[in-house]
Amino acid sequence: MQGIKAFEKLTIMDDYMFGVVMRDEKYLKPLLESILDIRIEKIEFIESQKSAKEGYLSKGIRLDLYVLDESEQVYNTEVQTSDKKNLPKRMRYYQSVIDINILAPGVDYKKLKKSFVIFICNYDPFGKGRYLYRFENLCIDDPDLSFEDESVKVVLNTKGFVGVMRTELKEIVDYFDRGIVTSGYTGQLDEVVRTIKSTEERRHEYMVMMIREMEIREEGREEERANTEREKKRADKAEIELQKVKAELEALKRELNIT
Are 47 and 138 members of one domain?
yes
Q: Is residue 69 part of a domain?
A: yes
State how far the Cα of 26 lies from the Cα of 135, in Å rounded to an integer. Answer: 27
Are 206 and 129 members of one domain?
no
pLDDT mean across residues, the chain: 87
Are 79 and 207 members of one domain?
no
Are 152 and 257 members of one domain?
no
Are 31 and 150 members of one domain?
yes
What integer pLDDT is reported at residue 220 of this predicted model?
Answer: 76
Q: Kindly report which listed range (60-69, 97-106, 125-134, 231-240) carries the lowest average pLDDT score.
A: 60-69
Q: Which of 198, 223, 248 is the last residue of a domain?
A: 198
Q: Kindly report which listed range (36-50, 134-148, 149-163, 181-195) carries the lowest average pLDDT score.
A: 36-50
Q: Is residue 215 part of a domain?
A: yes
Phi-psi region of 197 (alpha: psi -120 to 50; beta: other; left: phi over 0): alpha
State how far the Cα of 119 lies from the Cα of 130, in Å rounded to an integer. Answer: 14
What integer pLDDT is reported at residue 190 of this predicted model?
Answer: 98
Mean pLDDT confidence for 84-103: 88
What integer pLDDT is reported at residue 236 of this predicted model?
Answer: 81
- Domains contained in the chain, number: 2
Q: Which of 198, 214, 239 is the last residue of a domain?
A: 198
Q: What is the pLDDT of residues 150-159, one digit of tens each?
A: 999 999 999 9
- Secondary structure class of 166 (helix, strand, coil): coil
Are 21 and 91 members of one domain?
yes
Contact assessment for residue 188 and residue 175, using Cβ atoms and an 8 Å cutoff: no
Q: Is residue 2 part of a domain?
A: no
Given a cut of 90, is residue 87 above it in pLDDT? Answer: yes
What integer pLDDT is reported at residue 207 of this predicted model?
Answer: 92
What integer pLDDT is reported at residue 37 of this predicted model?
Answer: 95
Q: What is the pLDDT of residues 193-250, one digit of tens each?
A: 999 999 999 999 999 988 888 887 777 777 777 788 788 888 888 888 888 878 877 8
What integer pLDDT is reported at residue 56 of this predicted model?
Answer: 29
What integer pLDDT is reported at residue 55 of this predicted model?
Answer: 38
Mean pLDDT confidence for 12-22: 95
What integer pLDDT is reported at residue 259 of this predicted model?
Answer: 63
Are 255 and 141 members of one domain?
no
Residue 169 carries which DSSP code? H
**Comparing C-alpha atoms, which of 153, 16, 181 is closest to residue 96?**
153
Are 129 and 17 members of one domain?
yes
Q: What is the pLDDT of residues 28-82, one digit of tens each?
A: 999 999 999 999 999 998 864 444 444 323 444 555 678 989 988 999 999 999 8
Are 158 and 218 members of one domain?
no
Are 50 and 174 members of one domain?
yes
Mean pLDDT confidence for 141-163: 95
Q: Which of 198, 230, 245 is the last residue of a domain?
A: 198
Domain that holds residue 113: 7-198
What integer pLDDT is reported at residue 58 of this predicted model?
Answer: 41
State how far the Cα of 7 lies from the Cα of 28, in Å rounded to an integer. Answer: 22
Residue 137: band (very low, low, confident or very high) from pLDDT cuts 50, 70, 90: very high
